[in-house]
Amino acid sequence: MWRGTAIRELDFRKAIKDGLSDFEMSELQTFACENCGAHVEMLEHAHSAECPFCATPVVTQTGTERQIKPRGLLPFGLTEEQARDRMTDWLGQLWFAPNGLRAYARKGRKMQGIYVPYWTYDADTKSSYRGQRGTIYYESQTYYATINGQRRRRTRRVQKIRWSGVRGRVARFFDDVLVLASSSLPKKYTDGLAPWDLSAMEPYQPEYLAGFRAEGYTVSLEDGYTEATAYVNRMIERDVKFDIGGDRQRISSVNTEIGTLTFKHVLLPVWLAAYKYRGKTYRFVVNGRTGTVQGERPYSRWKIGFAILAGLITAGTLGYLFAMGQSNGSFVIQRY
């Protein structure tokens, strides 16, 4: 259940076949970063800027994009200061991170509050399947082995599986299958920000964007649905195996019918820092609700070298002490 006013879903099939009305569309003025491909909403009166996703300088040549309006938005729950604290704590746990980068992150410029675009898909599915249920049983098997030069008869228990054909039906309603609608950040980082408390989603209002920036989607509605379908199929396969039961399962075929199929464009809050340090860009993202942090894991060659050297010294010291112990032990035995 959504809080407050319900967020209306849009019919996916109708949108693909007939398109959407002008009421459901908006004109978004963005600049496109040639380095990472981000399409970020342009701030008023800005003529040059730095891409918040990769810290690349860009000239804000206005580009107008016609996009589907956001339906829902998850407001920021953390301030910039709180997000920075989470990021510096996360960096502090990375022993091999360069000290200079940690200091730069602590004292650097402001983090960017970005609303990142996602698609959500709802689907009512009914699936019929055919497969096999495997039941494990054991049989005694006789074999011969040579023991002390003599041939001996032995028995052992051997696992077998008895298969029986099955068929059945499973049904599941998928609510808010979430798909990232941007390619500006590595997916492993954005996936690592989950889970999102989507129950706190609010109907979209432009006022929520005050003080923040918004990214336009670059993953199309159809491509997002392809990714959502892969997730749906994995979950249906899991349901089918559970329904088959037994000790093992084989699936021969699954035929899924999708009834109601809807979608919406939503914005989720991310605090973002992109730092250029010694010629390399490091990006860190913080879930704007939970404070979960993801990002590049920087490594200091000096720290790694010191750790290797310390390890060699420790190993050498232990080896020396062990050798001395062995020598002392032999001397005592000789005296005895």
pLDDT in tens, 114-153: 999 999 999 999 999 999 999 999 999 998 888 888 898 9
Residue 310 has pLDDT above 70, yes or no: no
Report how far residue 336's alpha carbon sits from residue 322's, in angstroms, rounded to the nearest whole number. 21
For the chain, the maximum distance between any two Cα atoms, rounded to a whole number of angstroms, is: 100
Tokens describing residue 238: 């899991």
Residue 306 has pLDDT above 50, yes or no: no
Identify whether 75 is preceded by a cis peptide bond (ω within 30 of 0): no
Mean pLDDT in residue range 316-327: 57
**Comparing 228 with 282, which gets the higher pLDDT?**
228
Mean pLDDT in residue range 297-303: 48
Q: What is the full DSSP assignment across 282-293?
A: EEEEEETTT--E
Report how far residue 308's alpha carbon sits from residue 312's, in angstroms, rounded to the nearest whole number. 6
pLDDT in tens, 31-47: 677 777 677 765 554 44
Query: pLDDT band for position 228 (50/70/90)?
Result: very high
Q: Which segment of 142-156, 158-172, 225-239, 241-255 scores lowest on mean pLDDT?
A: 142-156
CB 244, CB 133: distance < 8 Å? yes
**Comparing 106 with 54, which gets the higher pLDDT?**
54
CB 203, CB 158: distance < 8 Å? no
**Comparing 329 with 220, which gets the higher pLDDT?**
220
The percent of residues in the chain predicted with pLDDT above 90, rounded, is 51
Residue 103 has pLDDT above 70, yes or no: no
pLDDT at 10: 97
The percent of residues in the chain predicted with pLDDT above 70, rounded, is 74
pLDDT at 175: 96
pLDDT at 332: 39
What are the helix (H) ranges across the chain?
12-18, 80-92, 99-107, 187-192, 221-244, 301-335
Query: pLDDT band for position 303 (50/70/90)?
Result: very low
**Comparing 313 with 261, which gets the higher pLDDT?**
261
pLDDT at 211: 86
pTM to 2 decimals?
A: 0.77
Across the chain, what does the average pLDDT equal? Answer: 82
Q: What residue segments make up the domains of the chain, in order of their start?
A: 10-118+179-243+263-299, 302-336
pLDDT in tens, 272-299: 988 776 677 778 899 999 999 998 765 4
